[in-house]
Structure 1
Amino acid sequence: MRYLLRYIGHRLYTTWATFWFVMPFVVTYPLQLALSKKPQWHRHLHTLNRYWSKLFIFMWGMPVETVRKNPLPAGQPCVYVANHSSYIDIPLLFRTIPGWLNIMGKLSLAKVPVWGPIFGRAYITVDRDNAISRGRAMVQARRTLEAGRSVVIFPEGSISKKPGEEMGEFKDGAFQLAIATGVPIVPITMPLNHRFMPDVDGLRVRYSPLAITLHEPIPTTGLTAADAPALRQRAHDVIASGFRATAKGIPEQSSWRRPVAVPAVEQPAAKKESELASSNS
């Protein structure tokens, strides 16, 4: 009975979370579509996206711990670099980071039905396996910074294979961009997103607190392209310092059946005798 009740609870909460993600978008879709049509309206579209993110994260009902280690540079754009662990990384960033942001996302996001074209018009998309696409995205990001607008980049390029434990190898692009434009790097750690919605087949949602830390900005003034690897490693270490040992792993798939214990495999007698002899030698 305990497993059945837990399974029903998971299904109900997943339905609740999905409803509050989808419903505000459906209601505001005509406005979002209209605002996406002209670049001069994208600022208002981002504001709408921020309130959409705040609303559905609030309605999900779990606490969000927000830590800002140091005030962000006033009136200056930044390159925000964050670990990538879940589908909800972008909404949590939109909710937390002030101002009109641009964000670099994978090209497949622009191909999501209905919502994708809006994202593709308003933000930067990139095919990370295509050198031309990567170059075009960096040009867009540089123009964004030069216009006084901050940029968010996931330097891993994709969701980590071991979220909350290890990050994929960081690419140099974000750090070369920050050095070239002279703007600070702001590392961001989101250590718990994968506990709420992991990157798995199907939709798996679990009630779980969230947390986000905006670390102290790292200045790039006076740095050259040769300093990019050291800057990349420094940002990597800062982000990793915010991980939590208790957040390792992803939630298991829910089932209404009691787990069946797998019996230990009996070792052949000859192998047991060999191991015993080895331990006594």
Structure 2
Amino acid sequence: MRHLLRYLGQRLYTTWATFWFIVPFVLTFPLQWYFSRRPGGEYVVHRLNRFWSWLSITMWGVPVEVVRESPGPNPQPCVYVANHGSYIDIMLLFKYIPGFLNMMGKASLAKVPVWGPIFGSVYVTVDRSSAVSRGRAMVAARRGLAAGKSIAIFAEGRISPKPGKELLPLLDGAFQMAIEAGVPLVPVGMPLNHMFMPDVEKGLRVRYHRLKIVFHPPIPTAGLTLADIPALKEKVATQLAGDFLPEGAVKPGPSTWRAPVTAAPTAPQRETTNS
């Protein structure tokens, strides 16, 4: 009975969380669509996205621990380098990074019905399997930094198969971009997002779970060269992996109303000897 009630509770909470994810977008969609097609409208669209993120996370009711290791505000512009463990990573970055934040996301996001074209017109999308797409994305990101727009990049390139436990090797792009633009790198750790919404192949799985986001001190890149990228990647990877917590080491399994089956203990076998 306990497992059935827990299963029903998870299903109800998934419905609640989905409702408050969809409703803010529906309410702001007309304005997002309009301003995404106007010069300079990306600032309005981003404010709407920040409102969307704020309302959704607030209505989910989950506690969020925000750790800012640097006492003052981060320099602008900068390159935020974050780990990637869940589809809600973007929402936390939008909510807790003030001002306009450019975002580099995979090209498939621009193909999501209704919302995708807006994302593709306001932020930077990249198909990492295409050298041409990677080059265009780097140019667009550099232009944004030159215009004073900070950018957030998931340097792992995709959601880690074992978020909260293993960090995928970081790609060079974010580090190369920061060095060439001479702007600081800010590592951002989000060790528990996958406990709320894990990436699964089938269906949607949401769990009520506390969240945490850690902003590490900015790392200056002025005077560095591309030869310093390996050391930078190692430093950032160490910081991001250091944010992992024991409670986030195992991704939640699928919901089930059945009690887990435990193997029956086997009786110890007696040793027999021939006499």
Cα distance, 1:167 vs. partner?
A: 0.9
Deviates more, 1:241-250 or 1:87-96: 241-250
RMSD: 1.8
Query: Superposed, which structure 2 residues align to 1:26-65 within 5 Å?
Result: 26-65=26-65
Post-superposition CA distance 1:147-199 (Å, at most 9, x none) = 00000000100000110011111111100100000000000000100000000
Equivalent residue, structure 2, for 1:279: none
SS in 2 for 1:160: coil
CA contact (8 A) 1:39 1:122 kept: no
Equivalent residue, structure 2, for 1:139: 139
Equivalent residue, structure 1, for 2:196: 196
TM-score by length of 1: 0.92
SS in 2 for 1:125: strand
Instruction: Give me the whole-angstrom Cα distance separating, in 2, the residues matched to 1:25 and 1:134.
Output: 29
Equivalent residue, structure 1, for 2:107: 107
Report the AA paired with residue 18 of structure 1: T
Instruction: Give me the whole-angstrom Cα distance separating, in 2, the residues matched to 1:15 and 1:54.
Output: 18
Equivalent residue, structure 1, for 2:258: 257
Cα distance, 1:136 vs. partner?
A: 0.7
Report the AA paired with residue 192 of structure 1: L
**Structure 2: stretches of 5+ with no match in the other structure:** none
CA contact (8 A) 1:72 1:217 kept: no
Query: Superposed, which structure 2 residues align to 1:210-229 within 5 Å?
Result: 210-229=211-230
Query: Superposed, which structure 2 residues align to 1:77-226 within 5 Å?
Result: 77-200=77-200, 201-226=202-227
Report the CA distance shift for 1:184/1:14 in structure 2 as closer, same or farther (over 3 A): same
Instruction: Give me the whole-angstrom Cα distance separating, in 1, the residues matched to 2:162 and 2:261.
Output: 26
Instruction: Give me the whole-angstrom Cα distance separating, in 2, the residues matched to 1:110 and 1:82.
Output: 20
Post-superposition CA distance 1:9-63 (Å, at most 9, x none) = 0010000000000011111111111011124111010011001101100000010
Post-superposition CA distance 1:192-214 (Å, at most 9, x none) = 00000000121000000000000
Q: Does 1:14 align with 2:14?
A: yes
Report the AA paired with residue 215 of structure 2: L
Cα distance, 1:245 vs. partner?
A: 1.8
Instruction: Could you list the structure 1 runs, at least 4 aligned residues long, displaced by more than 3 angstroms after superposition.
Output: 262-266
Cα distance, 1:256 vs. partner?
A: 1.1
- Percent identity reads 61
Report the AA paired with residue 180 of structure 1: E
SS in 2 for 1:40: coil
TM-score by length of 2: 0.94
CA contact (8 A) 1:191 1:242 kept: yes
Report the AA paired with residue 198 of structure 1: P
**Structure 1: stretches of 5+ with no match in the other structure:** 274-281
Q: Does 1:238 align with 2:239?
A: yes
Report the AA paired with residue 73 of structure 2: L
- How many residue pairs were aligned? 269
Equivalent residue, structure 1, for 2:68: 68
Report the AA paired with residue 254 of structure 2: Q
Report the AA paired with residue 15 of structure 2: T
Instruction: Give me the whole-angstrom Cα distance separating, in 2, the residues matched to 1:105 and 1:47.
Output: 18
Cα distance, 1:265 vs. partner?
A: 9.3
Report the AA paired with residue 230 of structure 1: A
Cα distance, 1:262 vs. partner?
A: 4.0
Instruction: Give me the whole-angstrom Cα distance separating, in 2, the residues matched to 1:253 and 1:174.
Output: 34
CA contact (8 A) 1:86 1:159 kept: yes
